[in-house]
């Protein structure tokens, strides 16, 4: 049985998405695939009250690997556990726990997909960094590098090689802006290959993949739906704050498609301007009820209105923390990412490294 460890240099780079897309491709090609996230620093409670990792639960469900996610992350580092381990008041046999869970996840499988911790920098204090766990399990490593600028892209790829050495299978460059694709193909990729870093693919930035659904916004903002129609799966690709004059707002709103408009509940002029343009959802802040005219107009246009208690600045901060960090649970987003992987990543090279047909 072969094992592939998927990690990244920084959080929210696309590890889970890559694991899921690869897992689905392997299954479609007739291979038996197991999955494990050996170490998690993001504790999550299942509906049954068990401690688990939410990303692991999502992948498990999407790949049809069972219903109990609690065994998919054998080491979950909570603040209390970290404190006990660092002060010597608690003991935990990390290696034994991880090896036992990996053995169970790999039973009857051809390939075990392993999702890394938050990033390559985590876990050294406890001896459970991604390079250490990958070596423990005899896995080759694939690193997802998110584009954050030309030099950071190069440096992050070289950092991965420095951390992993011969364990490194290669890197997938992710979230490449259209205007940077020429740089990546003509300069970054050849340079990295010369430095011994195999570039297995470069995925373009697609706004829909970073989008938040209206349902996610309602949950995160604890919003109240004021309109009759409410599609939780509708995707928001951009956010605009309505804190200017109505004329200025209308001009800006016309330039932004598939957006959410965040404004005070008492700004009827801004709300009307938003409803005249491509608006997916209207978010009204300050717990201020809008005019009945606005609700009537929104219902005619099938634009939901969310009323939130926070003020506009607080609402924007919540949205900014969430934007670009959403999972691929939305069917459209998952299918889009699968197509991106199939069209831009050398899947054959990954199969070859794993001795798979």
pLDDT value at residue 242: 82
pLDDT over 80 at 331, yes or no: no
pLDDT value at residue 194: 97
If asked whether residues 314 and 341 sit together in one domain, one would say no
What average pLDDT score do residues 149-168 get?
96
If asked whether residues 78 and 177 sit together in one domain, one would say yes
pLDDT value at residue 325: 56
**Beta strand residue intervals within 242-298, DSSP E:** 259-264, 279-285
If asked whether residues 216 and 293 sit together in one domain, one would say yes
Query: Based on the structure, what is the number of domains in the chain?
Result: 2
**CA–CA separation, 211 vs 334, rounded Å?**
12
Domain that holds residue 245: 212-322
If asked whether residues 200 and 307 sit together in one domain, one would say no
Going by C-beta distance under 8 Å and a sequence separation of 6 or more, which residues neighbour residue 273? 242, 246, 249, 250, 253
Q: Which residues pair with 141 in a beta bridge?
A: 5, 168
Provide the Cα torsion 119, 106, 81, 328; round to 10°. Answer: 50
**CATH number for position 19:** 3.40.50.300
pLDDT value at residue 229: 83
If asked whether residues 267 and 340 sit together in one domain, one would say no
pTM value? 0.82
**CATH number for position 245:** 3.40.1390.20
pLDDT value at residue 48: 81
What average pLDDT score do residues 64-82 get?
86
What's the distance, CA 21 to chain centroid? 13
What are 20-32's pLDDT values in tens digits? 999 999 999 999 9
Structure confidence at residue 327 as a pLDDT band (50, 70, 90): low
pLDDT over 90 at 202, yes or no: yes
pLDDT over 80 at 326, yes or no: no
Report the range of poorest mean pLDDT among 212-221, 272-281, 331-340. Answer: 331-340
Provide the Cα torsion 73, 77, 80, 82; round to 10°. Answer: 140
If asked whether residues 76 and 166 sit together in one domain, one would say yes
**CA–CA separation, 72 vs 56, rounded Å?**
6
If asked whether residues 83 and 158 sit together in one domain, one would say yes
pLDDT value at residue 324: 58
If asked whether residues 183 and 228 sit together in one domain, one would say no
If asked whether residues 38 and 174 sit together in one domain, one would say yes
pLDDT value at residue 322: 77
């Amino acid at each position: 049985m072969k094992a592939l460890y998927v990690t990244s240099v920084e959080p929210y780079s696309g590890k889970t998405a890559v694991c899921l897309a690869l897992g689905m491709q392997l299954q479609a090609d007739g291979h038996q695939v197991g999955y494990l996230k050996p170490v998690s620093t993001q504790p999550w409670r299942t509906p049954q009250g068990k401690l688990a990792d939410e990303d692991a639960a999502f992948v498990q469900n999407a790949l049809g690997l069972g219903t109990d996610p609690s065994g998919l992350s054998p080491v979950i580092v909570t603040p209390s556990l970290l404190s006990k381990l660092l002060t010597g008041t608690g003991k935990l046999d990390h290696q034994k726990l991880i090896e036992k869970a990996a053995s169970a996840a790999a039973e009857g499988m051809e390939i075990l997909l392993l999702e890394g911790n938050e990033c390559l920098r985590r876990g050294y204090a406890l001896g459970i960094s991604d390079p250490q766990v990958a070596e423990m399990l005899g896995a080759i490593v694939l690193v997802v590098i998110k584009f954050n600028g030309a030099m950071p892209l190069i440096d992050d790829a070289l950092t991965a090689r420095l951390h992993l050495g011969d364990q490194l299978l290669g890197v997938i460059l992710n979230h490449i802006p259209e205007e940077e694709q020429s740089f990546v193909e003509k300069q970054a990729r050849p340079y990295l290959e010369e430095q011994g870093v195999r570039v297995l693919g470069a995925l373009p930035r697609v706004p829909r993949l970073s989008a938040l659904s209206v349902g996610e916004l309602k949950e995160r903002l604890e919003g109240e739906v004021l309109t009759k129609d409410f599609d939780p799966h509708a995707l928001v690709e951009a956010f605009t704050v309505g804190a200017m004059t109505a004329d200025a707002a209308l001009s800006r709103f016309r330039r932004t498609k598939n957006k959410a408009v965040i404004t005070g509940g008492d700004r009827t002029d801004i709300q009307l301007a938003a409803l005249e343009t491509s608006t997916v959802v209207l978010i009204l802040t300050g717990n201020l009820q809008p005019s009945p005219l606005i609700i009537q107009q929104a219902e005619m246009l099938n634009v939901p209105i969310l009323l939130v208690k926070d003020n506009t600045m607080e609402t924007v901060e919540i949205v900014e923390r969430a934007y670009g960090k959403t999972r691929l649970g939305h069917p459209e987003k998952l299918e889009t990412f699968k197509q991106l992987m199939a069209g831009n990543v050398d899947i054959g090279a990954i199969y070859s490294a794993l001795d798979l047909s």
